[in-house]
Chain A
Amino acid sequence: MKKSLFDQGYLDEQFYQLEELQDEVSPNFVEEVVTLFFRDSTRLVTNIDQALEKRPQDFRKLDACMHQLKVSASSIGAAKMKNECTSFKEFCGKESLEGCIRSFQKLKKEHSTLRTKLENYFQLLRQVGPVEKAVRSGK
């Protein structure tokens, strides 16, 4: 399952890095980080939503907010999200509100998709239980 996530471009190298950090000291490290990410990113998405509704538009602020989200996405290797963040920022640069809105819609979609997939992934891991490691290496 993980492989598919990678293949489809949802996750990148960074995710592997997180997995390598997981050890006996922090056995659920990856899941903790991902949970943290979604908690924080949801907040950021809300911020951007609110900022988008403001008139007149403050593109610099929008850009700054999106930058935060982009950084956040990079932390777990959420590749597709990151890309969408980049295009959103480009629209900000062009001061195209419409472009921003469209881009943001896509971004939110990516965000929720990733969340679902990762939730499934971790659930799977839990089910697998002690065989987790083997399973993961196999994937």
Chain B
Amino acid sequence: MENPLPSSRAEPFPAGLRVLIVDDDPTWLKILEKMLRKCSYEVTTCSLATEALDILRERRDRFDIVISDVNMPDMDGFKLLEHVGLEMDLPVIMMSIDGETSRVMKGVQHGACDYLLKPVRMKELRNIWQHVYRKKMHELKEIETHIHEDFNILRNGYEDLEDRYLIGGTETNSVRKRKDVDCKEFGDQEINDASAVKKARVVWSVDLHQKFVNAVNQIGFDKVGPKKILDLMNVPGLTRENVASHLQKYRLYLSRIQKQNEGRTCGNMPSDLINNDNRGNFVLHSTTNIPEDSELTKCIVRTESFHSQEIAPSAQNGETKRIVPVQVVGSKKSLLSNAPCTQKVNSVPQLGVLLSFKGMMPSIKEKSYEPTTVKHKPLHDDTLRKQLMQYPKQEDCSMLTDHSCFSNLDQDHAPSFNPLSTLPPSVISSSCTDERYMKDLCEMKHFLTDYRSGHFSSIPPMTCMIDSVSLQVKHGIVNAEDIGAICKLEGSPSTKDYNFDEAYNQGCFPLTCEFSLKSEAELDSFPEDLHLCSVQKIGCLENMTFSGAGFLPYIDSTPTMNEVQTNWYRGSEGHGEYFDDLDYPPINESLSA
């Protein structure tokens, strides 16, 4: 039965707090239940850990806090603790008759917010509400921080971004390193998280974001929770907090996309953006205002505008749920796309624009970047979409080097999408921008990565991409120019195995972004389509900050998380324009041409 939400209860908080107790000892279960009821809490009892997980999964909003015994026959209490934290992100209190320091420490390490010793006194139970409250406050603060940062980023504009990137990249690296070290050494994610929130913003590279998206899809959007995502992502150094805030953003992004989808007709999107191929893949059309300026470097794609880019979904067949401009949930993200580069995006197929979502992705996963780019295999949209970013590795992104084809993303979506062959939209994940950007990029990247079917190595913030893009442009790589987006970075290494980490650390993320920009029209919409070129160590990533557009949201009627994610990713890929794979073909023309 559904417990009413606390807010709906007549009594003041903490009365009515919904508690789930898990204990294999029936006597204790009865006693604790009685104690909690006396505190005016709503209690649900459970004697098996597996049963408890089922209950929680079935209705994750049903409970405010979980109290669990450590020693249980079917599952170790610590394991349950981890699961709950990952999947549901609820505060968990451990209990045991054993009060040894090592045990208590283990509990804290696994994420318990408190550890009670049996026999438990009622006064101890009376105070458990503080953990619920504290958690909420912490989450709010995180969001605030992210939002604040995003705003800053937006306000500051290019220059700042650039500077920030330059500086931020280093900082981020060091911060991240520090964080990683901390994590490894102490294994205390909580601490890291806390500090991470303050300082090191993990950059959500495409790859990382892809992983994120994959994880979310796997878990199921409804049931998703930071800990679980973290667990599935299995990225060292990534903290739960990172994932939590990223998830938040992602959700916001999704809801925004949804709204946009509803509100806007497909027509809005520059259908041109999407090469109408219903490739269904995202079209990165991030409308962002990509300044077409010639400054290569940064095309800042505004994420917001990106949204509008949703493109083409309308243009496309509905099937491909196109990914709408990658708008990073924070819409704040400004994609920096080299407008100039992207300009060409005309035919850019759905290149996922890597949008650097600022602050979107805190964690950058370093995955080997797989330039699975665009293979636009007409992946079933659903798959892709659902996958969120499972990029189908577009192996055949023969087009442009193996850039991570964001289009891969589309691939799923766009069955027809087969641009990869033509233009592997290389997503560029370059973003060495500052963390914030990186974050965004990361997000984008994630999408991209996701798209790539996970091969996408997490590309560090796409922000860098911009640089690359610009580079490309400069160098006339522009194929993309024609195409609009495919930026191939010279020497872009096969990003496939690009380890972003390295790149990231170096501050330059070699992104090979090949954006296949969809048609210019698309490009318009997708400022991000910046040709994400893999900026190999160009160190230029700075510019690639894709504003939030990184994600190409799928403009589904009801964008599923997956879709959005993919889209998102695409957007983040900003570098490459995430175009739905669908659009690849068009790009092919241009690009391949």
Contact = CB atoms under 8 A, between A and B. Distances in A.
B35 A71 contact: no
Interface in B26-78: 26-28, 30-31, 34-35, 37-38, 69, 71
A36 B69 CA distance: 18
B121 interface: yes
Given A21-B35, A25-B37, A71-B28, 15 more contacts: A14-B119, A17-B119, A17-B121, A33-B27, A33-B30, A33-B31, A36-B26, A40-B26, A40-B27, A67-B71, A68-B24, A71-B25, A72-B25, A75-B25, A76-B27
Interface in A6-46: 13-14, 17-18, 20-21, 23, 25-26, 29, 32-33, 36-37, 40
Nearest to A13: B119
A103 interface: no
A62 to B, nearest CB: 14
A71 B28 CA distance: 8
Interface string A84-127: 00000000000000000000000000000000000000000000
State the majority secondary structure of interface residues on A: helix
A72 B27 contact: yes
Interface residues of A, number: 25
Contacts of A13: 119
Nearest to B118: A74
B27 A75 contact: yes
B122 interface: yes
Contacts of A74: 97, 118-119
Nearest to B117: A74
A32 B30 contact: yes
A80 interface: no
A40 to B, nearest CB: 5
A87 B31 CA distance: 26
Q: Which of A17, A23, A40, A71 has the most C-beta atoms of chain B within 10 angstroms of its own C-beta?
A: A71
A70 to B, nearest CB: 6
A133 to B, nearest CB: 18
Interface of B: 24-28, 30-31, 34-35, 37-38, 69, 71, 97, 118-119, 121-122
A29 B122 CA distance: 15
11 contacts: A14-B119, A17-B122, A18-B31, A36-B30, A68-B25, A71-B28, A72-B27, A74-B97, A74-B119, A75-B28, A75-B31
A33 B28 CA distance: 9
Nearest to A69: B25
Contacts of A25: 37
Contacts of B71: 64, 67-68, 71
Contacts of B28: 71-72, 75
A71 B97 contact: yes
Contact of B118 (A18, A23, A71): A71
B31 A21 contact: yes
Contact of A21 (B24, B25, B27, B38): B38
A84 to B, nearest CB: 15
Interface of A: 13-14, 17-18, 20-21, 23, 25-26, 29, 32-33, 36-37, 40, 64, 67-68, 70-72, 74-77
A68 B71 CA distance: 8
A51 to B, nearest CB: 14
Contacts of A40: 25-27
Contacts of B97: 67, 70-71, 74
Nearest to A77: B119
Contacts of B119: 13-14, 17, 74-75, 77
A64 B38 CA distance: 32
Nearest to B97: A71
Contacts of A20: 122
B92 to A, nearest CB: 19
Nearest to A21: B34
B67 to A, nearest CB: 15
A72 B25 CA distance: 7
B40 to A, nearest CB: 12
B25 to A, nearest CB: 5
Contacts of B35: 21
Q: What 5 pairs between A and B have smallest CB-CB spacing?
A: A75-B27, A37-B27, A14-B119, A75-B28, A71-B97
Contacts of A23: 38
Contacts of A70: 97
A107 B26 CA distance: 20
Given A21-B34, A26-B34, A36 B121 contact: no
Contacts of B27: 33, 36-37, 40, 72, 75-76
Contacts of B69: 71
A26 B34 CA distance: 9
A28 to B, nearest CB: 12
Contacts of B37: 25
A29 B119 CA distance: 17
A73 to B, nearest CB: 9
Q: Which of B27, B28, B119, B122 has the most C-beta atoms of chain A within 10 angstroms of its own C-beta?
A: B27
A76 B122 CA distance: 14
Nearest to A41: B27
A13 B120 CA distance: 11
A26 B27 CA distance: 15
A37 to B, nearest CB: 5
Contacts of A32: 30
A117 B388 CA distance: 65
A21 B24 CA distance: 21
Contacts of A77: 119
Nearest to B23: A71
Nearest to A44: B25
A71 to B, nearest CB: 5
A29 B34 contact: yes
Contacts of B25: 40, 68, 71-72, 75
Q: Which of A17, A20, A23 has the most C-beta atoms of chain B within 10 angstroms of its own C-beta?
A: A17
A64 B98 CA distance: 12
Nearest to B121: A17
Contacts of B118: 71, 74-75
Q: Which of A14, A18, A75 has the most C-beta atoms of chain B within 10 angstroms of its own C-beta?
A: A75
A71 B27 CA distance: 9
A25 B34 CA distance: 10
